[in-house]
Amino acid sequence: NFSAAAYFFGRKLFKELNVPIGLINSSFGGTPAESWTSAEALKVIPEFREEIKTMDSSFHEQIRNQGNFQAELKLRKEIIKRGDIGYDNGKPIWNKPDLDVTGWNTMNLPIKWEKAGYPDLDGIMWFRKEIKIPASMIGTDLIMSLGPINDYDITWFNGVKVGSMIDANIPRDYKIPMLLVKPGKNIIVIKVEDIGFSGGVWGKADQMFIANNSGEKMSIAGKWLYKIGFDRKVLGPKQHIPTVLNNGMIHPLIPFAIQGAIWYQGEANASRAHQYQTLFPIMIKDWRSQWNQGDFPFIFVQLANFNELPTELKDDDWAELREAQLMALSLPNTGMAVTIDIGDAKDIHPKNKQEVGKRLALYALAEVYGKDIAYSGPMYKSMEIKEGKIRLQFNHTNNGLKIKGSDQLKGFTIAGADKKFVWADAKIEGNEIVVWNSKIKNPVAIRYAWASNPICNLYNGSELPASPFRTDDWKGITYGKK
C-alpha cells in the first residue's frame, strides 16, 4: 500500500547518500490537482471561485445547524461501521449459493455501471449468475474469464473464492477446480468495488466465458443479478471535489518538517490541460505557503506514454498536459522526470516505477544534495529558421544528443503558416537538431512527441529522454475548457 515510485526514489537516495530517508505517502489515484489545493489558493482562479464560495456557505450553514449536522454525522458513522451489507461480522454472506435473491435487479454484463443507470455510484456492487455447465465440461478444471473489472473484485464459484485482483485494466482469468463444478445449477458471484470514476465489469462480451482445456467454451455474458452493497457517498465529499484531499491528506501533515515533495499526477486534468498551466503552479506555491519553509524542492513526473500509437497527426490533450507540466519548471526549485519512454499503451499505471523513482532521485541528488550528475534529458531552448529548415537548440545535452533504438530520429513534425503539421525529417548536428520537410518551403513551427503515446527516440549521452515540446503557441484542443 505504499507508493512504488516513492520507494525507489528513497532507495536511490539512501544508496547514494548513505543516510536514512523518511518518506510520507499521501496519495489517491485518479484525482485532479484542484483536490490537492486549498480553498484560499483556488479562489484566485475564476472558474473555481464560485464553487469555493458555495462550499464556504454550506460549511457555515452546518455550523448554524449543529443539531442536524451531528445527527447526520452519527447516521453516517453507523453506516460506515456497518460497511458492505454483503458481509456480516466480517464474513461474506451474499456469496452463498442458496442466497435468497428476492429484491435483486438485473444488468446485462459487460458494462460500466455508469452506463447502466448509476452515473454517480462509487462503492460496492455484487453480481450473481446461475449457469448450467455442459456435461462435456464436467470432470476437469475450468477457466473462467471475466474481462477487466474496475477497480477491485473478489469472485466466488459455488460459494468458494476462486480469485481476486486489484487492477482496473487486467482481464480476470480464474481457475475453477473440477471438484467445484456440479451437474446442473452452478452459481458465480462477483463482488466489484469501485473507488472512483467508472466502475463495473467493463470488457467485451467475448471476454466473458468459461472454458476447458479442449477449447470448448460457454458464454457467461448477458443478464446477471445485482445489488448494491455499499455507496461511498456516506464517506463524505468525493476525492475529486476541489480542496477535499488538501483538507484531509495534506493539511494534517503541515506540522512535519520536510525536505521537499515528489508528485506524480496529471491524468485526471488532461481534458483541461490549458487550465493546468495556471492550476499546477498555484498548487505548488500553495503547498509551499502552507508549510512556510520557503521554496522547498518540488519534483514531479511528466505524464508517461499511454494509449494507442498515433495513426494521424492531431492535437492531443495528454501532449498539452505534458506541456503544462514543462511550463511549471519556471517556478524556482522545481524539477521534472520525463517518462515518455517507459509507459504502457494499455495501462494508465505503468509497472516500471523503479525507473520513475530513479529519475526523480537524479534531480534531488544533483540540485538538492549537490552531486555532479546529469538529471535531465534534452530540453528545448530555442529555434532558428534558415533556408527552409529549422535548427533547434537544447539545454541538458550532457555528453551530446543521441538517437536510441534506431538510426533515424523519430517524433518530429513541422508546419508552415497554415498550421497543418506533417511528419518531418530530422538529424543531429553537434548539439543541435535540424528539422525539415521538402514540401514545406517556409516552415514556422516544430513539435516533438506530440501525442498521448508518441513514437520518439531523442536522448542525451546520459541516456535520459528529451521532453516533448512544441515551438508554437497556437490554441490547443483544451483551450478554454474548465
Same-domain pairing of 40 and 54: no
Which positions ≥6 away from 97 have C-beta within 8 Å? 158, 159, 185, 187
Greatest alpha-carbon span in the chain? 80
User: What does the pLDDT read at residue 62?
Assistant: 66
In a domain, 480, yes or no: no
User: What does the pLDDT read at residue 306?
Assistant: 95
Same-domain pairing of 152 and 247: no
Same-domain pairing of 300 and 205: no
User: What does the pLDDT read at residue 179?
Assistant: 97
Same-domain pairing of 161 and 263: no
Same-domain pairing of 63 and 113: no
Same-domain pairing of 260 and 336: yes
User: What does the pLDDT read at residue 233?
Assistant: 78
Task: Give the DSSP per-residue string, 177-230.
Answer: -GGG--SSEEEEEEEEEE-SSS-EE-S-GGG-EEE-TTS-EEE--EEEEEEEEE
Same-domain pairing of 194 and 208: yes
- Kindly report, residue by residue over 125-156, the tens digit of the pLDDT: 999 999 999 999 999 999 999 999 999 999 99
Cβ atoms 443, 309 nearer than 8 A:
no
In a domain, 482, yes or no: no
User: What does the pLDDT read at residue 465?
Assistant: 99
Which pTM does this prediction carry? 0.79
Residue with cell string 547514494: 16
- Kindly report, residue by residue over 359-410, the tens digit of the pLDDT: 999 999 999 999 999 999 999 999 999 999 999 999 999 999 999 999 999 9
User: What does the pLDDT read at residue 426?
Assistant: 98
- Looking up residue 151, the CATH number of its domain turns out to be 2.60.120.260
User: What does the pLDDT read at residue 438?
Assistant: 97
- 3-class SS of residue 106: strand
> What is the rounded CA–CA span in Å between residue 281 and residue 236?
28
Decide which of 234, 259, 281 is a domain's last residue: 234
In a domain, 341, yes or no: yes
In a domain, 343, yes or no: yes
Decide which of 181, 208, 234 is a domain's last residue: 234
Calculate what percentage of the chain has a pLDDT beyond 70.
97
Same-domain pairing of 39 and 63: no
Q: Which alpha helices (H) appear in 328-387, and where do they start and end? A: 353-363
User: What does the pLDDT read at residue 63?
Assistant: 67
For residue 458, give the C-alpha cell: 531523442
Same-domain pairing of 203 and 104: yes
Q: Which residue range(s) make up the domain with 69? A: 47-82
Same-domain pairing of 247 and 317: yes
List, for the chain, all residue ranges whose pLDDT scores fall below the cut of 50: none
Same-domain pairing of 175 and 307: no
In a domain, 478, yes or no: no
User: What does the pLDDT read at residue 80?
Assistant: 65
Q: What domain count does the chain have?
A: 4
Same-domain pairing of 246 and 313: yes
Cβ atoms 432, 471 nearer than 8 A:
no
